[in-house]
């Protein structure tokens, strides 16, 4: 059996004086594994990602119980600041949390290279371009000179992915990162991530509302509903033998065209 | 035709001119031509970075094109008089690809929604407007308690729905939706799409629907244009485009759609 790289146990989160938005969320992530986190809009997926990285104070929420262990050690806001971005990279759902509108794309990368890597300055430019090419962005030299608002939605998503990969994370948490990509680019990017995963052996938590994407990328699927984890199972079981009504609802509301072959639900 | 987008070209500065360098331009929208009929849902799909959002921004006059003509209700949109512009802005609304672009973080949802309503329906009684605000919030599947909250207090998908509510409440003739349901789960997606279809039926509302989700486009749009590299590669009835695409690029897009694999066959092995 492989080691648990990340262990989330009984995690609860609340916004000031309100009831919990996450209640006793538990799941684990193994080395080299890909988990998909799915569930209705507002079920707590993004908050789960933020709380793993101890970023709750930024949104005015607090842990009310439970813990997160990375490589067997409990994460605290102090230790998390060293792990964040280096060992565990989070790609945010909305690009506005990642980009500074007043800085070019090049500036964003320089900042990463300076503070998060040991790449020597004379190699930065070359590296930036190779990272942008890796995520299939055309004309990378030109792109580096652009400001975020001069890039399309799908370009920003790919730049965020490239930036997250710069530090060679052990865990990549990706929150809805393919929503602005056309189907061909989407397939390529997922291929890139899976290829890197094979080569470098990192783990992924993919947050997505797109079950057909989850079905193609995940080893196991975690289904959330109302701030709780309601089902965790290998991807095949989720589709063949869904147990929770919420999982069944998610699957049955997919259009027919989303299946390669008809799946009959019991 | 409600909207005619005629041979429109928009370019952006690629490299700023300066020392020893001539200004270079890239074509974001290259001689694009299409029309949207009154009461239809017109889909715009295509490559990422192909100019879809730019077209939307041109229609709502956030960007002005170098060349071309736009007609709305047979009247020219570019170089409108001030008064004409004011009417036009009432009739054409847009939901942006990134909801943060359109939601002021310092306003509660109630004041975001009321602001538009007061401006557009100043003749109506206060109570009527307040009621409209409550109704629309529920219609997009959010609790009425959301009204007292600020945009950052919502999840990504909830924020998308606030942006949709804000555009809908102004009862535009043409609503442009740029990836409006991209981070919504399927059941909320279909709730929103049903709501939009209802508005189309009831008020003859017209939609320009930009999306990468080909399952939704197939299900929801009457006609579709496929864009690549700033150019339209084909336009047609949705069924036609999906069942017998003419361009190689459209075929590629359709082939690349993720589908749930046939797990039962694997299991049998
Ligand atoms: N800053 C905040 N203050 C108060 N409540 C919040 C805040 N941020 C999120 N919430 C609430 O917490 C719940 C979970 O939000 P979260 O962002 O985790 O949802 P999600 O599963 O990522 O949804 P989506 O798929 O729509 O992005 C939501 O009901 C949301 O309204
Ligand atoms: N303000 C701007 N300045 C310079 N270039 C821009 C600007 N806005 C857009 N562009 C460029 O125009 C092209 C088209 O962008 P647009 O946002 O319209 O694409 P899109 O089809 O909406 O893509 P996506 O599906 O990824 O959102 C891109 O190459 C983009 O970099
Ligand atoms: Mg989210
Ligand atoms: Mg766009």
- Per domain, the residue ranges of chain B are 3-15+26-105+173-257
Residue keyed to tokens 């939307």: B56
pLDDT digit string, tens, across residues A30-43: 999 999 999 988 99
Ligand lying nearest the CA atom of residue A145: 2
Residue A179 C-alpha, separation from nearest chain B C-alpha, in angstroms: 6
Report the pLDDT value the prediction gives residue A57, as an integer from 0 to 100.
87
Higher local confidence (pLDDT), A232 or B13: A232
In this structure, the residue with its CA closest to atom 27 of ligand 2 is A153
Higher local confidence (pLDDT), A85 or B74: B74
Q: Per the domain annotation, does A94 fall within a domain?
A: no
The verdict on a CB contact (< 8 Å) between A183 and B214 is yes
The verdict on a CB contact (< 8 Å) between A209 and B185 is yes
Higher local confidence (pLDDT), B170 or B24: B170
Atom of ligand 2 nearest to the CA of B55: 18
Mean per-residue pLDDT for B149-157? 89
Ligand lying nearest the CA atom of residue A146: 2
Q: Per the domain annotation, does A190 fall within a domain?
A: no
Which segment of A231-245, B61-75, B127-141, B227-241 scores lowest on mean pLDDT? B127-141
Identify whether the C-beta of residue B108 lies closer than 8 Å to the C-beta of residue B167.
no
Choose, out of A19, A41, A90, the residue to mutate when testing the contact with B (most B CBs < 10 Å). Answer: A41
Report the pLDDT value the prediction gives residue B266, as an integer from 0 to 100.
64
Crossing angle of helices A124-134 and A105-116, in 10° steps, is 110
| CB neighbour burial string for A143-182, b if at least 16 within 10 angstroms, e if fewer | bbebebeebbbbbbbbbbbbbbbbbebbbbbbbbbbbbbb
Q: Per the domain annotation, does A174 fall within a domain?
A: no
Choose, out of A153, A156, A194, A238, the residue to mutate when testing the contact with B (most B CBs < 10 Å). Answer: A153
Using 50, 70 and 90 to split pLDDT, how confident is the model at B102? confident
Which segment of A168-182, B67-81, B92-106 scores lowest on mean pLDDT? B92-106
Interface of A with B in 166-185 (CB under 8 A): 175-176, 179-185
B12, B53, B218 member nearest A153 (Cβ): B53
Looking at the 3D structure of chain A, how many domains does it have? Answer: 1
Distances (CA, A) of A247 to A21, A244, B183: 20, 5, 18
Residue of A47, A93, A178 best suited for mutating to test ligand 1, as the one with most atoms within 8 Å of CB? A47
Backbone Cα Rg of chain B: 20
CA neighbor of B61 nearest in space, from B78, B83, B84: B78
- For residue B158, list chain A residues with Cβ-Cβ distance below 8 A: 41-42
Using 50, 70 and 90 to split pLDDT, how confident is the model at A167? confident
Q: Is the pLDDT of residue A266 over 50?
A: no
Q: Per the domain annotation, does A12 fall within a domain?
A: yes
Q: Is the pLDDT of residue A116 over 90?
A: no
Report the pLDDT value the prediction gives residue A185, as an integer from 0 to 100.
95
Q: In this structure, what CATH number is given to the domain that contains residue A254?
A: 3.40.50.300
Choose, out of B52, B152, B187, B258, the residue to mutate when testing the contact with A (most A CBs < 10 Å). Answer: B258
Distance B32 CA to ligand 2 centre (A): 15
CB pairs A-B closer than 8 Å: 160
pLDDT digit string, tens, across residues A73-95: 999 888 988 898 889 999 988 87
Q: Does B248 lie at the interface with A, CB-CB under 8 angstroms?
A: no
Tell me the percentage of chain A whose pLDDT exceeds 70. 97
Report the pLDDT value the prediction gives residue B147, as an integer from 0 to 100.
95
Residues less than 5 Å from ion ligand 3, measured at CB: A 46, 93; B 155-156
Q: Is the pLDDT of residue A4 over 60?
A: yes
Distance B66 CA to ligand 2 centre (A): 16
DSSP state of B21: B
Angle, vertex CA B175, rays to CA B170 and CA B180, nearest 5: 105
Report the pLDDT value the prediction gives residue B99, as an integer from 0 to 100.
66
Task: Give the separation between CA A240 and CA A222, rounded to whole angstroms.
Answer: 15
Report the pLDDT value the prediction gives residue A264, as an integer from 0 to 100.
54
- For residue B269, list chain A residues with Cβ-Cβ distance below 8 A: none
Ligand lying nearest the CA atom of residue A152: 2
Higher local confidence (pLDDT), B268 or B88: B88
Report the pLDDT value the prediction gives residue B269, as an integer from 0 to 100.
46
Q: Per the domain annotation, does A82 fall within a domain?
A: yes
Which segment of A17-21, A172-176, B207-211, B216-220 scores lowest on mean pLDDT? A17-21
Q: Per the domain annotation, does A266 fall within a domain?
A: yes
Which structure tokens are listed for A83?
A: 């792990």
Single pTM value for the model? 0.91
- For residue A253, list chain B residues with Cβ-Cβ distance below 8 A: 186-187, 190
Q: Does B212 lie at the interface with A, CB-CB under 8 angstroms?
A: yes
Q: Where are the alpha helices (DSSP H) in chain B?
A: 52-59, 82-91, 109-120, 126-139, 156-168, 186-203, 214-220, 238-243, 248-255, 263-268
Q: Per the domain annotation, does A139 fall within a domain?
A: no
Q: Is the pLDDT of residue B180 over 90?
A: no
B226 by Cβ neighbours in 10 Å (0-12 / 13-18 / 19+) ranks as buried
β-pairing verdict for A171-175 and A88-91: parallel
Report the pLDDT value the prediction gives residue A161, as an integer from 0 to 100.
95
The CATH architecture of the domain made up of B3-15+26-105+173-257 is 3-Layer(aba) Sandwich (3.40)
B53, B161, B259 member nearest A260 (Cβ): B259
Q: Per the domain annotation, does A255 fall within a domain?
A: yes
* Side-chain half-sphere CA neighbours of B262 within 13 A: 8
Using 50, 70 and 90 to split pLDDT, how confident is the model at B142? very high
Report the pLDDT value the prediction gives residue B173, as an integer from 0 to 100.
95
- For residue B100, list chain A residues with Cβ-Cβ distance below 8 A: 94, 96
Q: Is the pLDDT of residue B152 over 70?
A: yes
């Amino acid at each position: 059996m492989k080691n648990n790289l990340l262990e989330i146990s009984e995690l609860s989160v609340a916004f000031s004086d309100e009831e919990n938005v996450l209640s006793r969320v538990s799941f684990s992530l193994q080395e080299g594994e890909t988990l998909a986190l799915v569930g209705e809009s507002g079920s707590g997926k993004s908050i789960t990602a933020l709380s793993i990285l101890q970023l709750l104070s930024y949104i005015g929420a607090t842990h009310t119980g439970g813990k997160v262990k990375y490589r067997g050690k409990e994460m605290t806001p102090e230790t998390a600041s060293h792990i964040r971005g280096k060992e565990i990279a989070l790609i945010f759902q909305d690009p506005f949390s990642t980009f500074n509108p007043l800085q070019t794309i090049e500036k964003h990368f320089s900042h990463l290279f300076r503070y998060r890597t040991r790449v020597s300055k004379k190699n930065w430019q070359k590296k930036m371009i190779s990272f942008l090419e890796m995520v299939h962005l055309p004309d990378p030299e030109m792109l580096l000179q652009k400001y975020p608002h001069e890039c399309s939605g799908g370009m920003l998503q790919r730049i965020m992915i490239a930036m997250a990969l710069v530090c060679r994370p052990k865990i990549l948490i990706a929150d809805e990162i393919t929503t602005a990509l056309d189907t061909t680019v989407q397939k390529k990017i997922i291929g890139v991530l899976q290829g890197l995963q094979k080569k470098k052996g990192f783990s992924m938590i993919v947050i997505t509302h797109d079950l057909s994407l989850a079905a193609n990328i995940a080893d196991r699927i975690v289904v959330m509903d109302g701030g709780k984890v309601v089902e965790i199972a290998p991807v095949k079981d989720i589709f063949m033998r869904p147990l929770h009504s919420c999982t069944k609802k998610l699957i049955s509301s997919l259009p027919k065209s989303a299946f390669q072959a008809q799946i009959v639900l019991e | 035709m409600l909207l005619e987008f005629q041979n429109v070209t928009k370019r952006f500065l690629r490299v700023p001119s300066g020392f020893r360098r001539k200004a270079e331009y890239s074509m974001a929208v290259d001689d694009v031509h299409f029309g949207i009929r009154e009461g239809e849902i017109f889909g715009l799909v295509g490559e990422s970075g192909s100019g879809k959002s730019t077209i939307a921004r041109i229609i709502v006059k956030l960007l002005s094109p170098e060349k071309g003509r736009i007609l709305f209700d047979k009247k020219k949109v570019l170089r409108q008089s001030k008064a004409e512009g004011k009417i036009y802005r009432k009739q054409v609304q847009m939901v942006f690809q990134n909801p943060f672009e359109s939601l002021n973080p310092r306003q509660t949802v109630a004041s975001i929604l009321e602001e538009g309503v007061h401006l557009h329906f100043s003749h109506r009684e206060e109570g009527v407007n307040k009621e409209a605000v409550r109704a629309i919030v529920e219609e997009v599947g959010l609790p009425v308690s959301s009204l007292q909250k600020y945009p950052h207090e919502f999840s990504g998908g909830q924020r998308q729905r606030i942006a949709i509510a804000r555009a809908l409440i102004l009862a535009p003739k043409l609503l442009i939706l740029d990836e409006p349901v991209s981070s919504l789960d399927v059941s909320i997606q279909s709730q929103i799409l049903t709501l939009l279809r209802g508005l189309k039926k009831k008020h003859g509302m017209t939609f320009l629907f930009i999306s990468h989700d080909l399952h939704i486009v197939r299900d929801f749009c009457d006609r579709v244009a496929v864009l690549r590299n700033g150019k339209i590669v084909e336009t047609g009835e949705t069924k036609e485009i999906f069942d017998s695409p003419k361009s190689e690029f459209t075929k590629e897009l359709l082939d690349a759609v993720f589908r749930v694999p046939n797990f039962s066959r694997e299991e049998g092995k």
